Homo-oligomer: A and B are copies of this chain.
Amino acid sequence: MIVRERPSGLRLYFIFKGSMLQSIRWQLVSTVLVAAAVYLTHGMLFAIKITMTPIPFSLIGLALAIFLGFRNNASYERYWEGRKLWGELMIACRTITRQMQTFVTGSGADEARRRMAYRAIAFAHALRHHLRGSDPREEVGALLTAEEFAALEGAVNKPDFLVRRMAADLRGLVGERATNPLFAARIDETLTSFATILAGCERIKQTPIPFSYTLLIHRTAYLYCFMLPFGLVDSIGFMTPFVVGLISYTFFGLDALGDEIAEPFGTLPNDLPLAGICRGIEISIREALGEEGLPEALKPVDFCIL
């Protein structure tokens, strides 16, 4: 996530972080070069004048508007649903910690509370690494016992493993009568929230926007931008490369940004700050446990929190 004040005036044009320029520079350069060539040859290709007017572009524009508008909304919905799921994870972590404090009694209660809360934090870290395909060992290891950590290593789905361990703990508490069945049923509801969050994130990660959309959109946008100079050169002359560059920049930029946020769990600049949220969960839960020496919230590096 890029954390930055909205720039104003001319400074707007001197920002590269968060601009999509980096991802689309080659496409942009090639459309502008084509436009310049078309201007220099007056729209001739192999001595044949390509007769083209702006009309076809209005007509194709219709399809493009549907495509780009649809894809943009679908991408943002995926992004925002991902964010909601991580917000629910914050709720689930705080709730299970609170419920353990309200509902569990007996001699081992403090130990049980701490273990459950640590597993909730470990779930957050494990889910992040699960979604990003990275190694959860360092962060998760510090939160579990060595034995449990070893068992986790062998699990195919690490976050799911942690939910099952929480459930095993709950079962133990019911067995020892440290909580009553009614409270256990409430805690079980919270465990279902963890399962819901996990499956929701997996759904977003595993099922992209159908590939054929991507293909149709890219093809249409590319053809549109490469043909555009032929449609403009007769009316705007030497301004053609400039206008084509501007239009390409908006279309390609919108498209590349859609690509980026449609997979919101990655580590590109506009993706969700999962590490930041995990840290926030850690601070919140440790505070709820009454611990001292809480870690600091993550600070943006080069305007970015990952």
Binding site for B on A (CB under 8 A): 1-4, 6-7, 9, 12-13, 15, 18-20, 26, 50-70, 72-74, 76, 79, 83-84, 87-88, 90-91, 94-95, 98-99, 101-103, 105, 155-157, 160-161, 163-164, 167-168, 170-171, 174-175, 180-186, 188-189, 191-192, 195-196, 199-200, 202-203, 207, 210-216, 218-220, 222-223, 228, 232, 235-239, 243, 246-247, 249-251, 253-254, 257, 259-261, 269-270, 272-273, 283-284, 287-288, 294
Contacts and interface: CB of A to CB of B under 8 A. Distances in A.
Contact of A102 (B171, B223, B261): B171
A214 B61 contact: no
A72 B12 CA distance: 20
A87 B212 contact: no
B74 A76 contact: yes
B216 A102 contact: no
A28 B237 CA distance: 29
Contact of A90 (B60, B91, B202): B202
Closest A-B pairs by Cβ, 3 of them:
A2-B211, A63-B250, A87-B203
Given A51-B235, A182-B185, A287-B155, A212 B12 contact: no
A295 to B, nearest CB: 11
Total copies of the chain: 5
